[in-house]
A and B are shown apart, each in its own frame.
Chain A
Amino acid sequence: MMNIDSYTHVRGESVYLDDIPLVNGTLFASVFDSPVAHGKIKSLDIDAAMKMPGVVRIFTAADIPGENQIGGIIADEELLASTHVHFCGMPVALVVATSDEAAKAAVKKIKIEIDPLPVITDPREAKEKNELIIPPRTFQLGDTTAAWTQCDYIIEGSTATNGQEHLYIETQGAYAVPQENSAIRIYSSTQGPTQVQRTTARVLNIPMNFIEVDTTRLGGGFGGKEDQASAWGAMCALAAWHLKKPVKYSLHRMEDMRMTGKRHPYSSDFKIGLNKDYKIVAYEVTFFQNAGAAADLSPAVMERTLFHCTNSYFIPNVKATAYSCKTNLPPNTAFRGFGGPQGMFVIEAAIAEAAAALNVSPILIQQKNLLKTGDEFPYGQIAQSEANECWDKAVNLYDLQKLQQEVDAYNNNNKLSKKGLALMPICFGISFTKTLMNQARALVHVYTDGSVGVSTAGVEMGQGLNTKILQVAASIFSINPERIKVNTTNTYRVANTSPTAASASSDLNGKATEIACVAILQRLKEVAAEEFTADISSIEVKEDCVFVNGKQTDWSWNKLVQAAFVKRVSLSEHAHYAPPGIWFDTTKEKGHPFTYHVYGTAITTVTIDCLRGIYEVDSVKIVHDFGKSMNPIIDIGQCEGALVQGIGWMTMEEMLYDKEGKLKSNALSTYKVPDIYSVPKEITIHFLETEKENLAIFRSKAVGEPPLMYGIGAYFALFNAIKAFNPAANIPYDAPMTPEKVLMSLYPQTLKENK
């Protein structure tokens, strides 16, 4: 089934935040943000701005009736800076005016004096100065100290991965409309409607039941609107609450880029030990996460880095430590993969470094150490592994040996153009690692005309969630999908939602929908059983009709529904789902945090133009563990989209802050995401259909995040291509591999002469 939104999408009729028809009298907001990364506010002068045409009011921290606090995990982030600023782009004041242009023009007239304080942008420096968001955490398996003596080879090194701007094409925004009794409705472009509701309640000091957050869909989220959509919702609500007027704020791209956090940059150290059989015996790794100026979701992101520090490999002795380092950058946040990719990059770099030292192919080391069912993860969960299945399938299906020979032959025949190939296995755990977040609700109404409305806790942002929800309802009821409408996500209809994140939303909301539909169906069947004086077990609803003992009756779905209504049987159900069996004990750092894992393997081939240092990705050939996909079109779309986003992170997406903490890559002209020409010439995806039981909805495994990590293969393919040109190249493990880094690695000698 194609995405149910396709029809309105291709006609430009889908409604996003900025498309909502405005209520008369709507005002427009714009933020004045800190021009300095760290300092004490000496004075804030809004007089000139107030005199600008159209300006209605300018809000500062002093206008906040409740708590000036938006920190979700830790209360360490102000909505509007009161005394200190902690990053460039930190909101200080909110201008509200009669037009968007007027608000923006007035922002320019605000003057601020700040006594500068020292600026930290480097996580290692933050760690040195003990600027940590939370105490460090360590995951341990076996005993690395003892294990080093069993190793024949020990290799150490350092890596860095840069951040990544989400670049959802729809920027952040919110629109708050006051209601009677000081209640507020907020339309928000958010992955976490409840988070917006909770934050606003706290800021305004009003109860959550007075705040209705409504989200139709997002023009992309990728994690960037999980926690960081709340500020804009709360700001609009603050202004609307004071002024009793609707207030809207749809951020300009540059405002969005400079004020919001991104994927966390990491700097890491590793030590890896192998025996003569290339088995990894021990692995120690230390992660320095660049959290930015406040916690945001950093502690949870850091935790997932630890969970995925060994990727798809079994290593008997592991010690992984992570520091969440506080710097003066915008608070970094969730981004597809949520710390996992950063952890996986390091183990892949360690393997590459070991392979180079041992003069073997990294593929050999990767293959020898793949996880098997029954192996223990460093956090104690026992693997139900598909790692070898995916790997072997990829190697055979795509004929790795031939691919490698082709690359070698090409490299022998070409002097100024080189190819590189790399394999990237992945293993990604599904569930929120914070166990309590793994719950969802769905509200299903069957109307008397036989139509069905479904509301869930999940937000549609292109991932096809609503389509899958609709499929669930259509399949349980066995009715024409056209009878079903999936409604907006609304905190008045479904309360206490977890954000749409962690790839888990189809599972959680799908299961909740399933439970609700099953309950209604059960009641309907009871009605039919009574009518046909048959046993309920003989009643079936199939393709809009009632069947008794496999025989079609003259009762249609509509008739059944009406009969139930006449009998005063409830046609609505609100269901709750919480996956069983997951837990995690942070005092021991052990548990069973994931409902299941997703596996896969990608083979990436690239070509470098060694004269210019530019490159192309020739192909990515994937075997991916989809479980039993309930919607192949959507799942392939997720897989391809995530892959390309991962390749972007590893190649051209270069986030640049200067030493003063100012974002240099602050527009689409300086921050480049993949365009149509830079994606792999060929992407092939093979579905590894696994029939095993799992906790996924209809056994269709989560697919939002895992494929992003195939993108790491592009880095190592480029790495190998550079080595083919210059075997002596000393390539730092420093992603992204921009054309600049490629050229510098190809010609390190020339470079020295230039200096």
Chain B
Amino acid sequence: MIRFILNEKTIATELPPGMVMLDFIRYQQHLTGTKIGCREGDCGACTILVGELVNDEIHYQSMTSCLMPIGNAAGKHIVSIEGINFKDQLNPIQQAMADEGATQCGFCTPGFVMSLAGYCLSKGEFDQGTAIASIDGNICRCTGYKPIERAAGKMATILKERNGEDEIAFVTRKKILPDYFTGIKNRLLEMNTAARGRSVPDPAGLKARPHIMGGGTDLYVQHHETMSSADIHFVFDHPELNGIHKEGNKCILGSSVTVSDLKRSPIINDAFPGFQQVAKLISSTPIRNMATIAGNFINASPIGDFTIFFLALDAQLILTDGITTRELPLRKLYKGYKTLDKRPEEQIEKIWFETPGKDSYFHFEKVSKRTHLDIASVNTAIHLKLNGNTIEQASLSAGGVGPVPMYLQKTSDFLKGKEISDALIGDSVEIMKTEISPISDARGSKEYKTLLLAQLIKAHFMERRLLSS
């Protein structure tokens, strides 16, 4: 039995927990405002809000309902567009969209409205930039986005007035969202989710349930049919698998930490000053709210952004099957295309890495056909320990240039102990070429990928003016 609140209504359902929320909303509840454009997280037409209790406070995020299992909704507040409508009037988001001409065929529109509703419930700063960032997962084929940008801007202006007022109090007072939102927190507390205890890792359970579900953003894209009725081990909401903390130089991530968790984390932003820019290049707001780092590793895409990021940091995995636990360097996880040094029943429990020190330089580069909300053609990360202009230690990783996410051992070794110079970069690129084996596919020809990686290696050095030309 899964219990959650959908809009105003309490739901208790025996439907398979692997059913996606989109189907539940549209075909079980017959709420048709949530649209289907792709079922792959790539269009945002199905965007909903998910409110969950964090330390007894309710915290809303946008998610794509096409990739969200109802099993990940237990104990939460799910909001579809029907849940934000006022009886006979438009709320300010809707009014702004209508006034600006931001809706043509209208098919993408509920998704945009929901993303903006998520923005209205977010904690961050409000300006044109953050407003647009909140709709970075929504595709519109009709408008060319300009009127949508203007509507989003209007919302940022309204939200600037919030000035530290509680989000829910503000949005209900301003009639942005209906009054019933004020009562949700207590209803969730009451519901107090016996259901959520369900995912306590029990050893037998792990063996019996072969499918480990994080945010579902890879699983539903790749195995949609099997997941809807599969026996699933949910790890997304496990409190013990959550959280980012630091012990000395060691940064430890729980396995259900999402990209958005990283983005919000002071520890991460401290360790990686350019992190917001990196995160902006990875998927979209609703996907980042679901996508876990552990899922990115295990999915083993040769182009996984966080895999490449953490390969350069020499991250370590703590794997457990519920009985035995072992530690494995991420660099040793990949044995071949989508084959891993991991038994099916082993689960990532934690990920840890040493944060780059003061003498370190860390940088990540990604180029894709479309700069945002796209999978990389090539991505790469570098971690250098420097002594003046001398490289004391180098770790270079690259994706999209081999069957697995690659740690470029030879190139890294070559850089070690050398003085940074144009010539050195040129030479290292030649070594890089001997290590990689890109193939031509939808993301580019192998010639392009080789050239691109060479350019991105240069970019690593130029970005922080380690190199001038």
Contacts and interface: CB of A to CB of B under 8 A. Distances in A.
Interface of A: 2-3, 5-16, 18-19, 21, 101, 104-105, 166-171, 217-220, 222, 250, 252-253, 415, 461-464, 611-614, 633-634, 636-637, 640-645, 652, 654, 656, 664-665, 667-670, 672-679, 683, 738-740, 743-744, 747, 750-751, 754-755
23 contacts: A7-B98, A9-B98, A10-B90, A10-B95, A12-B81, A12-B82, A13-B33, A21-B30, A169-B37, A169-B43, A170-B37, A170-B107, A171-B37, A219-B35, A219-B108, A253-B40, A462-B104, A463-B104, A611-B455, A612-B456, A641-B141, A675-B139, A740-B369
Contacts of B103: 3, 5-6, 9-10
Contact of B451 (A18, A637, A673, A743): A743
Interface stretch (B118-126, B185-193, B438-446): B438-446
A678 B369 CA distance: 11
Interface stretch (B194-202, B267-275, B371-379): B371-379
A12 B374 CA distance: 27
B377 A252 contact: no
Nearest to B448: A740
Interface string B116-151: 000000000000000010011011111111111100
B109 interface: yes
Interface string B239-282: 00000000000000000000000000000000000000000000
Contact of A645 (B93, B110, B141): B141
A679 B146 contact: yes
A614 B367 contact: yes
A94 to B, nearest CB: 19
A13 B88 CA distance: 13
Nearest to B36: A18
Nearest to A610: B455
Given A101-B225, A170-B107, A219-B106, A641 B452 contact: no
Contacts of B90: 7, 10-11
Contacts of A675: 136, 139, 370, 372-373
Contact of B452 (A10, A167, A462, A612): A612
B105 A2 contact: no
Contact of A672 (B35, B369, B441, B469): B369
Q: Which of A12, A643, A755 has the most CB of B within 10 A?
A: A12
Contacts of A12: 32-35, 80-82, 85, 109-110, 113
Contacts of B39: 252-253
A43 to B, nearest CB: 26
Contacts of B43: 169, 668
B101 A3 contact: yes
B219 interface: no
B452 A613 contact: yes
Interface residues of B, number: 82
Contacts of A253: 37-40
A637 B371 contact: no
B106 A9 contact: yes
A233 B447 CA distance: 45
A170 B95 CA distance: 23
Contacts of A250: 36
A350 to B, nearest CB: 28
Nearest to B284: A675
A669 B221 contact: yes
B390 interface: no
B291 interface: no
B228 interface: yes
Interface in B347-403: 365, 367-375, 377
B166 to A, nearest CB: 26
| Interface core residue of A21, A633, A677 (most chain B CB under 10 Å) | A677
A9 B108 CA distance: 9
Contacts of A217: 105-106
B454 interface: yes
A169 B143 contact: no
A217 B40 CA distance: 24
Most buried by B among A219, A222, A645: A219
A176 to B, nearest CB: 19
Interface of B is mostly: loop
Nearest to A16: B107
Given A222-B141, A677-B136, A668 B447 contact: no
B95 to A, nearest CB: 8
B39, B106, B441: residue with the most chain A Cβ atoms closer than 10 Å: B106
4 A-B pairs closest in CB distance: A12-B33, A462-B105, A219-B107, A9-B106
A675 B145 CA distance: 8
A637 B104 CA distance: 8
Nearest to B112: A10
A contact face: mostly helix, strand, loop, or mixed: loop
Contacts of A739: 367-369, 377
B431 to A, nearest CB: 14
B413 interface: no
Contacts of B367: 612-614, 739
Contact of A641 (B81, B142, B441): B142
Contacts of A614: 367, 371
A677 B372 contact: yes
Given A169-B37, A253-B39, A637 B101 contact: yes
Given A12-B32, A743-B448, A744-B448, A633 B40 contact: no
B453 to A, nearest CB: 11
Given A253-B40, A462-B105, A739-B377, A664 B135 contact: no
B459 A612 contact: yes
Given A169-B141, A640-B144, A679-B146, A652 B459 contact: no
A652 B94 contact: no
B144 A641 contact: yes
A2 B169 CA distance: 32
A676 B138 contact: yes
A14 B459 contact: no
B377 A740 contact: yes
A250 B36 CA distance: 10
Contact of B371 (A16, A105, A678): A678
Contacts of A252: 39
A668 B141 contact: no
B450 interface: yes
B316 to A, nearest CB: 30
Contacts of A683: 144, 146
A725 to B, nearest CB: 13
B440 to A, nearest CB: 10
A5 B365 CA distance: 43
Contact of A676 (B107, B136, B441): B136
Given A2-B101, A11-B85, A652-B369, A755 B447 contact: yes
Given A11-B85, A739-B377, A105 B225 contact: yes
B442 A641 contact: no
B442 A3 contact: no
A670 B135 CA distance: 20
B98 A669 contact: no
Interface in B31-87: 32-40, 42-43, 45, 80-82, 85
Contacts of A641: 104, 141-144
Given A18-B32, A675-B373, A755-B447, A667 B40 contact: yes
A459 to B, nearest CB: 11
A668 B40 contact: yes
A10 B456 contact: no
Contacts of B85: 11-13
B424 interface: no
A166 B105 CA distance: 14
A656 B442 contact: yes
Contacts of A645: 141, 144
B458 interface: yes
Given A3-B103, A13-B33, A168-B105, A643 B369 contact: no
* Among A633, A739, A750, residue most surrounded by chain B Cβ atoms (within 10 Å): A739
A450 B146 CA distance: 39
B404 interface: no
